[in-house]
């Protein structure tokens, strides 16, 4: 199974500042035949179901603010919130869809400092 490891487990960022979340996979999720990284980012706010933010590691879902950016390739990925807003307080998860079983990172809790 592919193990997904996020860091940090939690972070507190001031409003308007940058938040950076890392996600590392135990093996590459880059599919060589199409050069796509099979990595998605979800946001889960308290008491709500998760919502997709970024897929193919760097493609923003329709309607997601452009302050959310995904980057990385192979085994190392990053979700960046360029200017943290109050409504971004949530837990963020990465997940690989390269193979089954699908696996999630343990989550990163983002709070306001």
Partner 1 sequence: QMQLVESGGGVVQPGRSLSLSCAASGFTFSSYGMHWVRQAPGKGLEWVAVIWYDGSNRNYADSVKGRFTISRDNSKKTLHLQMNSLRVEDTAVYYCAKDVRFGSGTYWIDYWGQGTLVTVSS
Q: Is the Cβ–Cβ distance between 7 and 110 less than 8 Å? A: no
Q: Number of residues interacting with partner 1: please give it, by CB under 8 A.
A: 23
Which residue in 13, 25, 95, 110 binds partner 1 (CB under 8 A)? 95
Q: 10 Å Cβ neighbour count for 105?
A: 25
Strands 68-73 and 4-7, sheet pairing: unpaired
Which residue in 33, 49, 87, 113 binds partner 1 (CB under 8 A)? 49
- Of 33, 45, 44, nearest in space to 94 by CA: 44
Which residue matches tokens 């989550």? 107
Q: 10 Å Cβ neighbour count for 104?
A: 15
Query: What is the three-class DSSP state of 88?
Result: helix
Cβ proximity to partner 1, 15 vs 45, nearer residue: 45
Which residue in 29, 42, 72, 84 binds partner 1 (CB under 8 A)? 42
Cβ proximity to partner 1, 72 vs 105, nearer residue: 105
Q: Which stretch binds partner 1 (CB under 8 A): 17-25, 26-34, 48-56, 68-76?
A: 48-56
Cβ proximity to partner 1, 52 vs 80, nearer residue: 52
- Give the interface with partner 1 as residue ranges (CB under 8 A): 1, 38, 40, 42, 44, 49-52, 55, 61, 91, 93, 95, 97, 100-107
């Amino acid at each position: 199974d592919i193990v997904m490891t996020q860091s940090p487990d939690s972070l507190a960022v001031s409003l308007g500042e940058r938040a950076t979340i890392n996600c590392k996979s135990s093996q590459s999720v880059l599919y060589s035949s199409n050069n796509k990284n099979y990595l998605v980012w979800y946001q889960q706010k308290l008491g709500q179901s998760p919502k997709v933010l970024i897929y193919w590691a760097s493609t923003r879902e329709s309607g997601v603010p452009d302050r959310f950016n995904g980057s990385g390739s192979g085994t190392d990925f990053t979700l960046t919130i360029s200017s943290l807003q109050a409504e971004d307080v949530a837990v963020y998860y990465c997940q690989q869809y390269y193979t089954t079983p699908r696996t999630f990172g343990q989550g990163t809790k983002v709070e306001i400092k």
